[in-house]
Structure 1
């Protein structure tokens, strides 16, 4: 296919035609045209990031590279004679590991098949790595499947690597500079890449689950101990704590759930998915022959299982199941790109000691996020929360840093340990740090810089070691510019910045809504919303964010009958203008949801928990045009 023919085909696809390409290619081309505004007539050279950026990406992916290396080397030995190149890309599409024939380095670098190459769709157009990140599926982008004419000689096959919490964390790609014309020639490549990814995910799961029961599954006993197809981890209470991608598929299929929403799988009891409890599953060790380790899945499938006992199994005791028993990452939010990105950052940042600054409007859940960071960090000390706006200015230094006996009038006879010392070995969370008085900012800076605290009235400092997480709904950078916040303290606190969006901008709003309904429900009386009430809630702008939503549901739950919340049960400022028992009420609520989504029908459908076809049908019924 010539240059002009390739451009013409892409343009026809952009106009709505289907040219016979695989659907995954058609969808990617349309993203390139509509979402990324790429021009197929402008060839772009392959992008190799700077040494500094590459070093940053490799450092963030260091653990994965270490775990994946033996699998990559094994795969490369299998395909090297066919002139394949291996690329391991991170979630941003940057190649953090590369295996290829050194004699072809110049050609490979020019083609972008090299360490540091960036293969995200917005940067490179349709390509295997970028399309894999966008779809979460293993795929081949062969020759003229590529959007950019620069890449049409290449044939690339990629498979996603998921972490144990169900988030796509990397992509393994094998590519050829030139290949046979037929796309089916790459079927074996896809099989090899997928097999390698399965082994990498299993190794990662094993490395991060030393204290949980590991269960590996296969459809035939002959493969159980040598090449399992799926794996999960289970804690001593019988709750699922981790899974490979195959494990997520297995669990989701057994109950008709969506594997793309790991939060509906993590934290649930194994008895929800298997016809066996945790003790029965734990007995399926190598002490029994593979053919004797049969296990029935809830959808009727029979699998073979291999149980690997944890290194330190805690004593099994009855556990009260509460929402907090869900693993921290599962409680963070729904399976949407924004929250998945937040999960990836926390996974990397939490175990370290870098100070973290959380920014977001009031009520977006900044302290909730800080507690999750502490939980994931593995720190043995306590989580100490300090609301800097709530402590009177004259008391904040003594509250934070403590005081000696007789330090001031009214001081306790024994003195008092400050909140900074209370956080020893743990996390100090400074909420609304922007409201801390200037004098206390100076004292805090000294504590962070020198790792020691001087109590009020004291002369000898005390050593302290803790992780600091701070939060503010105000822009600290603007405060620094205005001279109301110390610049040197600001740079001590913002080594890493995490941003929480307002509730109205969260694509997982329906997930949050359902979790809060669960929170306020009671045993035997779960809370639920009528269709119209749900539309009203999802269409409201929520200036107070999650805190306001939480309060509104608590209020409505106390008023409603039989656990069903109607519009009449909602706070007055929500229900005004929506008549619950009429089509007019549903129409008004539907208009509100569409308006809050700025006319984006896909986003409105996601918020309402329905598909686009159903939403379009409702819009036609009520005579609603898409808002502009």
Structure 2
């Protein structure tokens, strides 16, 4: 199909004609014409975002990428020989992970099949990632299905990844630079992508539900233990705490509900969807054969279920996030200048009730610091934490400000109090506030300015009084300058600004390591580090900050024998990758490793992942001799 023919077909669709295209393509073309005002005659080159913006998107997606990595690599091995490339995009359509043949990098980058490419519909027109974000469905956009003539050589198949609370959080896409003419040639690709997404969602649910019972479901017993179709998590009081997308569809279908309304599912008693209570569900373990683990669904269907007991049992009913013990100022860090200065400021600012903005990279402990501020503030109310990046845009206003009875279809008959009111007399912590939509920013500004909140659909405002602490890993000042954040709200939030240093900028790493060893002790037995393992931890630059260090020690604790962590117990990236060291951390790491190796330079270099010549050069530059 030529350029003129393609443009004319799009224009006919815009006028209401049926050209034989799939409905999902037709609807996307109409969005491009009517909603985004795109011109099919104007070619758009693929957009690759800046390194700074890509880094921001990747930081926000790091937890998902970590969980998804093995599934992504397995899928790529399955499709690489057919010249597919794999893209993992976030909910804004920016590619945060990419797997492809490096020999085709130039062609792939030019086509937009590359790390940092942006595939949202408003930016790229009809495309698999953008249409997947818009519809929430797995789909293929094949060749001339694309709105923009620039992309018509491509064939792209994508499936959405949902988080445990039912929000679309990412899209997995496999694409070809050139492909067979028939769209049906991509049916297998769609099957593989959807299967990988199902496994990623299940892994994510398992990782986030360590304290809850997890139930996996399949329509046939043969697949129950190997490839379940759906899964949910249930707390000790029998209420649903999380779900895969398949789980959301299953729950919604059992009651004739809309799976796109996760608030109708999360938090509800499991007995509302199944003819079984918590005790009966918990008994559906591998102690019995798969064919004997049947469960009746409220819509009359029968499924097979597999129950996985909590990996870390709680005592009693699952407690809300706001009820966790509050940390003390001394737990913020060791006695080093950068932390001492931060402690001094926190001690002065916490009782003042001033709005505080916390800035710092992902994983530096912003929520932990917010809890310390709350504990020192003297307020009587509770600490309410809200992750603005985790709440779907269409729900954030009702979540924050609540809603009046009958405010929208599916609303509770008595309405619901919002999180702002839950923080009455206490602290409202707004994490990743830079991701708050403009409409919600305006409402929040009004709440802060007037001291009252008006629920969605409500008429009478309600008085509120709370301390606000906000946080962002991005510079809000830069976002204001770029028109991405309201300046008036920014100046309401930044009366006091506290910046958390990255782990690479702190000199209390040994202190943190010892605290985390105590945190992850097994069955009351203390964890210990071998000298070589401690040296290895001290040698890392920890780009993932405290969260990465915490995960590394938790991983090692699970592998070690008799409570002693050695180098072999540490994650592979700490034992196989040369470390980028700096300052005191580098000297400590090299000195400790030499001590662990009894002065054997060759062995110390091997354990640090560098060659012997480099080791000698670093020792000389740092003034370290073998005896030292």
TM-score by length of 1: 0.57
Which deviations, in whole Å up to 9, do the C-alpha atoms of 1:180-218 show, x marking residues without a partner? 111111111100000000000000000010000000000
Instruction: State the distance in 2 between where 1:289 and 1:381 align.
Output: 45
Asked if 1 retains the 8 angstrom alpha-carbon contact of 2:218 and 2:228, the reply is yes
Instruction: State the distance in 1 between where 2:7 and 2:349 align.
Output: 69
Asked if 2 retains the 8 angstrom alpha-carbon contact of 1:249 and 1:259, the reply is yes
Q: Which residue of 2 aligns with 1:546?
A: 454
Q: Which residue of 1 aligns with 2:301?
A: 301
Instruction: State the distance in 2 between where 1:548 and 1:112 align.
Output: 40
- The alpha-carbon deviation at position 513 of structure 1 amounts to 9.2
Bigger drift between 304-313 and 133-142 goes to 304-313
Asked if 2 retains the 8 angstrom alpha-carbon contact of 1:517 and 1:553, the reply is no
Instruction: State the distance in 2 between where 1:496 and 1:245 align.
Output: 19
1:250 and 2:145 aligned: no
Instruction: State the distance in 2 between where 1:268 and 1:497 align.
Output: 20
- The alpha-carbon deviation at position 468 of structure 1 amounts to 7.1
Instruction: State the distance in 2 between where 1:14 and 1:453 align.
Output: 62
Indicate how the Cα distance of structure 1 residues 311 and 109 shifts in structure 2: closer, same or farther if over 3 A, else same.
Answer: same
Indicate how the Cα distance of structure 1 residues 552 and 157 shifts in structure 2: closer, same or farther if over 3 A, else same.
Answer: same
- The alpha-carbon deviation at position 152 of structure 1 amounts to 0.1
Instruction: State the distance in 1 between where 2:350 and 2:172 align.
Output: 54
- The alpha-carbon deviation at position 15 of structure 1 amounts to 1.3
Secondary structure at 1:467's aligned position in 2?
A: helix
Indicate how the Cα distance of structure 1 residues 254 and 496 shifts in structure 2: closer, same or farther if over 3 A, else same.
Answer: closer
Q: Paired residues, what number?
A: 391
Instruction: State the distance in 1 between where 2:37 and 2:350 align.
Output: 59
Instruction: State the distance in 2 between where 1:175 and 1:517 align.
Output: 48
The correspondence of residues 214-225 of structure 1 with structure 2, limited to 5 A, is 214-225=214-225
Q: Which residue of 2 aligns with 1:514?
A: 411
Q: Which residue of 2 aligns with 1:231?
A: 231
Q: Which residue of 2 aligns with 1:380?
A: 325
Q: Which residue of 2 aligns with 1:416?
A: none
Q: Which residue of 1 aligns with 2:109?
A: 109
Q: Which residue of 2 aligns with 1:34?
A: 34
Instruction: State the distance in 2 between where 1:226 and 1:168 align.
Output: 25
Which deviations, in whole Å up to 9, do the C-alpha atoms of 1:292-330 show, x marking residues without a partner? 10111111111111100002333557x9xxxxx9x7xxx
Instruction: State the distance in 2 between where 1:84 and 1:502 align.
Output: 40
Q: Which residue of 1 aligns with 2:347?
A: 452
Indicate how the Cα distance of structure 1 residues 297 and 78 shifts in structure 2: closer, same or farther if over 3 A, else same.
Answer: same
Unaligned runs of 5+ in 1: 320-324, 328-373, 383-420, 427-445, 457-463, 471-494, 521-541, 555-628
1:142 and 2:142 aligned: yes
Unaligned runs of 5+ in 2: 333-340, 352-365, 374-387, 418-446, 463-628
Instruction: State the distance in 2 between where 1:501 and 1:214 align.
Output: 27
Indicate how the Cα distance of structure 1 residues 455 and 27 shifts in structure 2: closer, same or farther if over 3 A, else same.
Answer: closer
Secondary structure at 1:46's aligned position in 2?
A: coil
Instruction: State the distance in 2 between where 1:138 and 1:151 align.
Output: 19
Instruction: State the distance in 2 between where 1:200 and 1:128 align.
Output: 19
The correspondence of residues 412-423 of structure 1 with structure 2, limited to 5 A, is none
Indicate how the Cα distance of structure 1 residues 279 and 424 shifts in structure 2: closer, same or farther if over 3 A, else same.
Answer: farther
Indicate how the Cα distance of structure 1 residues 123 and 379 shifts in structure 2: closer, same or farther if over 3 A, else same.
Answer: farther
1:467 and 2:370 aligned: yes
Which deviations, in whole Å up to 9, do the C-alpha atoms of 1:236-265 show, x marking residues without a partner? 000000000000000000110000000000
The correspondence of residues 494-533 of structure 1 with structure 2, limited to 5 A, is 510-511=407-408, 514-515=411-412, 517-518=414-415
Instruction: State the distance in 2 between where 1:497 and 1:160 align.
Output: 16
Indicate how the Cα distance of structure 1 residues 24 and 551 shifts in structure 2: closer, same or farther if over 3 A, else same.
Answer: closer
Secondary structure at 2:306's aligned position in 1?
A: strand
Instruction: State the distance in 2 between where 1:187 and 1:507 align.
Output: 43
Instruction: State the distance in 1 between where 2:32 and 2:161 align.
Output: 23
Asked if 2 retains the 8 angstrom alpha-carbon contact of 1:143 and 1:154, the reply is yes
Q: Which residue of 2 aligns with 1:275?
A: 275
The correspondence of residues 434-449 of structure 1 with structure 2, limited to 5 A, is none
The correspondence of residues 597-612 of structure 1 with structure 2, limited to 5 A, is none
The correspondence of residues 346-365 of structure 1 with structure 2, limited to 5 A, is none
Instruction: State the distance in 1 between where 2:83 and 2:402 align.
Output: 43
Asked if 2 retains the 8 angstrom alpha-carbon contact of 1:447 and 1:453, the reply is no
Which deviations, in whole Å up to 9, do the C-alpha atoms of 1:325-378 show, x marking residues without a partner? 9x7xxxxxxxxxxxxxxxxxxxxxxxxxxxxxxxxxxxxxxxxxxxxxx73xx8
